[in-house]
Amino acid sequence: MNAGKKPCLSGRGVTKEFGFGRNKTVAVDGVDFDFYEGEIISIVGESGSGKTTLAKMLLGLINATEGDIFFQGKKRNIGSHRKKKEYWKSIQAIFQDPFSSYNTFNKIDSVLLDCIRMRGGGRLPREKKIELMTEACSFVNLKFEELTNKYPFELSGGQQQRLMIARIFLLKPQILLADEPTSMIDACSRTTILDTLMQLRDEIGMTPIFITHDIGLAYYVSDTVYIMERGKFVESGTADQVILNPKKPYTQRLINDVPKIYEEWDLSTV
């Protein structure tokens, strides 16, 4: 099904260990993957399965203990600060906790201005910058005029999440890692956010990677699903293969144990 498509991000034997000796834990344990351009990917796992550690390695925030990550077919090289900055033009993330992703001391205007600068727009005239920021805010239903001179922590959780997406709109990355982007907000606002991410995918050809514990979300949004259990990918394939015909007991349990609405939810398994 991926004939002719190129993987934008791949991994071979990617491993992350923390601690030494008896305190050693293997958070991510030799995972292999090929994420194809334009495809929607979900990595599903319960809390503690290693999802977020993997996301941090994909972003280059922490180094793998072992294994290789390939970016656009070539072995990824982000050794220097300059290379890292270059890489972050292509890959961005929205995180579980919106607070953690902003520098507390930067006002919202400068958070957004930074994005314009990262895309090489540092020398644009002031009016043009404001126009871009206003456009980004209205894309996520925020009013730029109401945000100027405020700090991110002065916004509600939902507004912060939308501000994160406004950043993505300005940065236009090729790959977007969304680590539980919807956990803090309610069902219908989360649909709005998913819609905006999908719109971004269509408009700028972004590849979204959802990192989530929500198997219903993974099934609904993704082309390819990876199931993670204790640091390993135990099963992967198309959403229909993995969710409707799970082969591994772990996947079967996860799917059995979430509530159903179309079919009978079998309570006898617990």
Query: Are 14 and 69 in contact, with CB atoms under 8 Å apart?
Result: yes
The least distance separating another protein from the CB of residue 13, rounded to whole angstroms, comes to 28
Q: How far is the CB of 129 from another protein (least distance, A)?
A: 25
Is there a contact between 142 and 159 (Cβ–Cβ < 8 Å)? yes
Binding positions for another protein, rule: CB under 8 A: 46-47, 141, 156, 158-159, 185-192, 194-195, 213-220, 239-240, 243-244, 253-255, 257-263, 265, 267, 269-270
Q: In sequence order, what are the residues at sequence separation of 6 or more whose Cβ sits closer than 8 angstroms to the Cβ of residue 202?
A: none
26: which strand partners?
Answer: 17
Q: Which is nearer to another protein, 34 or 39 (CB)?
A: 39
DSSP, residue by residue, 105-134 = TS-HHHHHHHHHHHTT-TTS-HHHHHHHHH
Q: Considering only CA atoms, which of 7, 61, 58 is closest in space to residue 34? A: 7
Give least dist CB 108 to another protein, A. 17
State in angstroms the smallest separation of the CB of 149 from another protein: 21
Q: Which one, 80 or 269, has the nearer CB to another protein?
A: 269
- Our CB check for another protein shows the closer of 118 and 239 to be 239
Q: Which is nearer to another protein, 11 or 231 (CB)?
A: 231
The one-letter amino acid at 242: V
